Amino acid sequence: MANVKQASDQFRARARNIKILLLDVDGVMTDGTIFFFPAPAGVESTTKLIAELKADAGGFAIASDGVLEAKGFNAHDGTAISLAHLGAIKVGIITKRISETVRLRARDLKMDYVYQGAHDKLSVFREILQKSGAKPEQVAYVGDDIIDLPVMRAVGLAIAVANAREDVKDEAHVITDHRGGEGAVRDAVEYILKAQGKYEDVVAEYIQQRSPNKKRKGK
């Protein structure tokens, strides 16, 4: 294992093959903190039915109209998803918990694959391979806890965030410099794009798309 600044040529070679980046949510896209707030009167969660079906299992969601589950996401990671898309890398999430906040964030970032309520992440990973036609070696996964290990063992590039459990770090090819919720996803995306030689062009395209002085086509 190595952090993104020390990763060996062997792992950079793995990164050059990546076409899909899959992410855990809690502890990767967030710092792992889960907030529960009283829901305003009359508000009903669109994930309530699924949450109720899994309520007895525990750990999936809060099945209640009176409570909203919230999470904090990092803006740098949001930019990372945009950079990944510009670099022709599809991005998705596989998470056990069910959260309206995650659904909205995934829609905002135009994520290609969104799987919530997934306690068997390896089965979801195989479904994504079947749908996409990608090979395991063309997929990277970013995780932080032991539930992520089956997928990390199956993908071409296994990435652990800086705050991951030691068992997870031990099996990762690369460890991000930043903690989950603090830019770890940005580390992973930049590592892959740089290994593929796309990073500078992708950044230039990102800036050009948002430039007020961008020239219109035909002018």
| 187 and 99 in a common domain | yes
**Tens digits of residue pLDDT in 190-213:** 999 999 999 999 999 999 998 877
Tell me if 1 is assigned to some domain.
no
Indicate the pLDDT class of residue 46, thresholds 50, 70 and 90. Answer: very low
Q: Is 36 helix (H, G, I), strand (E, B) or coil?
A: strand
For the chain, the domain total comes to: 2
Q: Is 215 helix (H, G, I), strand (E, B) or coil?
A: coil
Predicted pLDDT of residue 133: 97
CB 178 within 8 A of CB 187: yes
Tell me if 52 is assigned to some domain.
yes
Predicted pLDDT of residue 64: 56
Kindly state the average pLDDT of the residues 35-39.
70
How many angstroms separate the CA atoms of 89 and 147, rounded?
Answer: 24
| 114 and 100 in a common domain | yes
Predicted pLDDT of residue 42: 53
Using CA atoms of 65, 24, 145, 51 in order, give the dihedral in degrees to the nearest 10: 20
| 127 and 77 in a common domain | yes
Kindly state the average pLDDT of the residues 59-86.
82
Query: Distance of CA 178 to CAs 8, 13, 117, 143, 163, Å?
Result: 19, 22, 26, 13, 8
| 80 and 65 in a common domain | no
| 178 and 121 in a common domain | yes
Helix (H), strand (E) at residue 140: strand 139-143
Which domain-ending residue is among 70, 95, 116? Answer: 70
| 192 and 170 in a common domain | yes
Please report, rounded to a whole number, the percentage of residues in the chain having pLDDT higher than 90: 68
Which domain-ending residue is among 70, 89, 121? Answer: 70
Beta strand 113-115 pairing with 90-94 = parallel
Indicate the pLDDT class of residue 49, thresholds 50, 70 and 90. Answer: very low
| 173 and 113 in a common domain | yes
User: Residue 130 pLDDT more than 50?
Assistant: yes
Predicted pLDDT of residue 5: 52
How many angstroms separate the CA atoms of 139 and 114, rounded?
Answer: 15
Q: Is 56 helix (H, G, I), strand (E, B) or coil?
A: helix
Q: Which residues of 161-175 are buried (b: 16+ CB within 10 A; e: fewer)?
A: bbbbeeebbebbbbb
CB 192 within 8 A of CB 202: no
| 175 and 91 in a common domain | yes
Q: Where are the alpha helices (DSSP H) in 109-158?
A: 121-132, 149-154
Q: Which domain holds residue 60?
A: 35-70
Residue 33: phi and psi, rounded to 5, are: -75, 135
Write the CB contacts of 23 (distance below 8 Å, at least 6 apart in sequence). 29, 91, 92, 93, 94, 141, 142, 185
Question: pLDDT higher for 34 or 167?
Answer: 167
